[in-house]
Structure 1
Amino acid sequence: MIFHDGTESRRAPRRRTSRTRLGLALAASGALLLAGGAAHAADPPTGPHHRAPGDGDWSDADALGFWTPGRIATATDPARPGGAPATGLPGPPAAVPGIPTAEHIPGLASVGVLFTTSGPDPTNGEMRAHKCSASVVESGGRNLVLTAGHCAGGRAVFVPQYSPEADLEDQPYEFYRVTDWYVDNKYVRNTKAAVSDLDYAFARLAPGPGGRNIQDVVGANKLVRTPGYAQDVTMVGYPRVGRNPEDLPVRCPARSGRLSGYRQMRVACAGMWGGVSGGPWFSDIDWDAGTGQIIGNVGGFHGGGPDVPESDPRYNQITYSPVYGDRFFRLYRDAQDNRRPHYGEYG
């Protein structure tokens, strides 16, 4: 995942600073981050019903005041159960015959990262490194993003086409606070049971500091029912800094199959380290427009990857996604209508 190309999103970002204090702090934090368990999971804090604080509990000013170089330099990278810490910063994954390798791209305006804090006060809580990816999806309120269920919960900000070289207030497409999470009420985080098929979630966003909704700024992706397990897909996400010192997103075009025994797709692609959780699986994408059709997201069994230590090559080579069917689209409608999901048993 060390390759670079000239892919550009449809809108030219604002001029970025060469290496601001945030970028330097993030680079320095890479060596301090703890490697997660299996390749794709995170464990952010959650409250009842996965609710996020409303606008009266924290503000853009709180987010700006919290996201400081000191906190980012000491950020933690939540681990998924069953993993082993990595030592040092590795090079790119070794090429595996017959398996594609994720490559760096400049990014897409409609895909970004989630930064999360914990604790009752956003000015003194624990800063967490970005550990999940998300994508903007079409909605009547023009304010929804899609991610994984195991990524939901807590105070969070979504940063589209995140730039590690810019402070929060100077991001190319601003930042957007999460005001509500929508997760299937039968989902259990990082489970290996059948309900891992439900590892998807939506987040409702407040307008950015400029007063505009996210969809009006970067556009939105179309959600489509998964047509079958065997599909040509392109995965996009942001690996964590500890395995991705450049802190750029990656993409991997690959052919999916079925994860036996589950309603999930399975893809082999090297270089899909932790942090890509929640990232979209595109069935079609317009790289110039920066949007496309999404039929899946990184997530599922054990948070989206095999239950193996990070030293096992399968850790970064095998990735899962839920299949989008009736239950998924029911949650999608409820998120748009701001209804709290409460569904029957799954299976």
Structure 2
Amino acid sequence: MLRLGLAAAASGALLLTGPTPADAAHAPGTGRTGEEAAADGWSDADVLGFWTEERIASATDPARPGPDGDPGGAPGPPAAGPGMPSAEHIPGIPSVGVLFTSAGPDPTTGEMRAHKCSASVVESSGNDLVLTAGHCAGGRAVFVPLYRSRAALADQPYGFYRVTDWYVDDQYVRNSKRAVSDLDYAFGRLAPSPDGRDAQDAVGANRLAPTPGYRQDVTMLGYPRVGRNPADTPVRCSARSGQLSGFRQMRVECAGMWGGVSGGPWFSDVDWDAGTGEIIGNVGGYNGGGMDVPESDPRYHQITYSPVYGDRFFRLYADAREGRRPHYGAYR
């Protein structure tokens, strides 16, 4: 589990939790507020009660455990190969943020997980969808755009949004090394923030476009795990992609793409002033988005994958927008 490490829950079904299709695709301005409880009883009050500043500070870092059960490695600058670009820390953009999760039957208790993945708001008529990796979907999750580690959850610059539904291709297998790893993408439907705003209204939304080909100029953006990113700030890396041999996936070499960037967008174009752009991929794919090597191997953080966005991806995107529960059949 290169880019994620600890998994929150299995994601074998297309729609994991949530309301009926009629409830899922709400129309903007219908008066739905952030106090509306999720299908599993996870309310905004529960989120604030659970994710206190102390819990955020002490939450499990979602790294792959080392031999002693603790995340391996130590923070430090990425080691880039000759001519290889390195990820750089940036302030971030409002349309990209992190996913916090907790596990267990009680929404106010359970296993704590630090932000385990990255996600981005994408265009939808309901103004309420995020894109992430398939292996990031599941569990009781909260999306925090432009996350600021020194601010309490209630004081984040753009608020927080509970994930009420997950949409994943039902042929995807978490962290697979087989062909179905091409399907490592997912959409989450968001409840409004506690002040009643939908995410897209608050931070804007990114456009999704078909991947034009394997060789592309892309800019990756995501939040590495805290163990390798003590400042807890997002990173970006601009590089030229190629193909992961034998898969319908892009491959990029860039140092510093540690666990936690899973689900983060691959932009073909970004308007940094507007804080949105065009997305043609996301961190994910074979083995959760990177090589199956120990974290001590430099390739662990130097080589990153993304699924290619084709017809099957856009069918899922359309069905997520409408709250449908389709089945697409076997994948090649």
- Per the normalisation by structure 2, the TM-score is 0.90
Amino acid at match of 1:315: Y
Q: Return the offset for 1:135.
A: 0.2
SS across alignment from 2:326: coil
- The answer on whether the counterparts of 2:62 and 2:116 sit within 8 Å (CA) in structure 1 is yes
Task: State the Cα deviation string for residues 181-229 of structure 1 (Å, max 9, x = none).
Answer: 0000000000000000000000000011110110011100000000000
SS across alignment from 2:115: coil
Matched, 1:205 2:205: no
Matched with 1:112 is: 97
Amino acid at match of 1:96: G
Instruction: Give distance in 2, aligned partners of 1:199 and 1:81.
Output: 22
The one of 138, 143, 146 equivalent to 1:153 is 138
Q: Return the offset for 1:63.
A: 0.2
Q: Return the offset for 1:41.
A: 4.8
Q: Sequence identity of aligned pairs in percent? A: 74
Q: Return the offset for 1:44.
A: 1.3
- The answer on whether the counterparts of 2:99 and 2:117 sit within 8 Å (CA) in structure 1 is yes
- The answer on whether the counterparts of 1:263 and 1:322 sit within 8 Å (CA) in structure 2 is yes
Matched with 1:181 is: 166
Amino acid at match of 1:174: G
Task: State the Cα deviation string for residues 3-58 of structure 1 (Å, max 9, x = none).
Answer: xxxxxxxxxxxxxxxxxxxxxxxxxxxxxxxxxx5245551124773523562512
Is there any run of 5+ residues in structure 1 with no aligned partner, and where?
A: 1-36
Instruction: Give distance in 2, aligned partners of 1:197 and 1:186.
Output: 10
Matched with 1:51 is: 16
Q: Return the offset for 1:70.
A: 3.5
Provide runs of 4+ in structure 1 moved above 6 Å.
81-84
Amino acid at match of 1:71: R
Structure 1 pair 88–189 and aligned structure 2 pair: CA distance change class (3 A):
closer
Q: Where do residues 36-75 of structure 1 align in structure 2 (5 Å cutoff)?
A: 38-46=2-10, 49=13, 51-52=16-17, 55-56=38-39, 57-75=41-59
The one of 293, 298, 316 equivalent to 1:313 is 298
- The answer on whether the counterparts of 1:53 and 1:155 sit within 8 Å (CA) in structure 2 is no
Instruction: Give distance in 2, aligned partners of 1:179 and 1:147.
Output: 14
Instruction: Give distance in 1, aligned partners of 2:114 and 2:151.
Output: 15
Aligned length: 311
The one of 164, 171, 180 equivalent to 1:195 is 180
Task: State the Cα deviation string for residues 57-79 of structure 1 (Å, max 9, x = none).
Answer: 12100000000234334322345
RMSD across aligned C-alpha pairs, in angstroms?
1.8
Q: Where do residues 247-286 of structure 1 align in structure 2 (5 Å cutoff)?
A: 247-286=232-271
Task: State the Cα deviation string for residues 299-345 of structure 1 (Å, max 9, x = none).
Answer: 00000000000000000000000000000000000000001232100
Q: Return the offset for 1:80.
A: 5.0
Matched, 1:298 2:283: yes
- The answer on whether the counterparts of 2:11 and 2:173 sit within 8 Å (CA) in structure 1 is no
Instruction: Give distance in 2, aligned partners of 1:173 and 1:45.
Output: 27
Matched, 1:224 2:209: yes
Task: State the Cα deviation string for residues 237-280 of structure 1 (Å, max 9, x = none).
Answer: 00000000000000000000000000000000000000000000
SS across alignment from 2:252: strand
Matched with 2:109 is: 124
SS across alignment from 1:58: coil
Instruction: Give distance in 1, aligned partners of 2:58 and 2:71.
Output: 17
Instruction: Give distance in 2, aligned partners of 1:94 and 1:78.
Output: 21
SS across alignment from 1:158: strand
Amino acid at match of 1:297: N
- Per the normalisation by structure 1, the TM-score is 0.86
- The answer on whether the counterparts of 1:41 and 1:190 sit within 8 Å (CA) in structure 2 is no
- The answer on whether the counterparts of 1:298 and 1:319 sit within 8 Å (CA) in structure 2 is yes
- The answer on whether the counterparts of 1:41 and 1:150 sit within 8 Å (CA) in structure 2 is no
Structure 1 pair 301–40 and aligned structure 2 pair: CA distance change class (3 A):
same
Is there any run of 5+ residues in structure 2 with no aligned partner, and where?
A: 20-37
Instruction: Give distance in 2, aligned partners of 1:303 and 1:42.
Output: 11
Matched with 2:34 is: none
Structure 1 pair 314–150 and aligned structure 2 pair: CA distance change class (3 A):
same
- The answer on whether the counterparts of 1:236 and 1:279 sit within 8 Å (CA) in structure 2 is yes
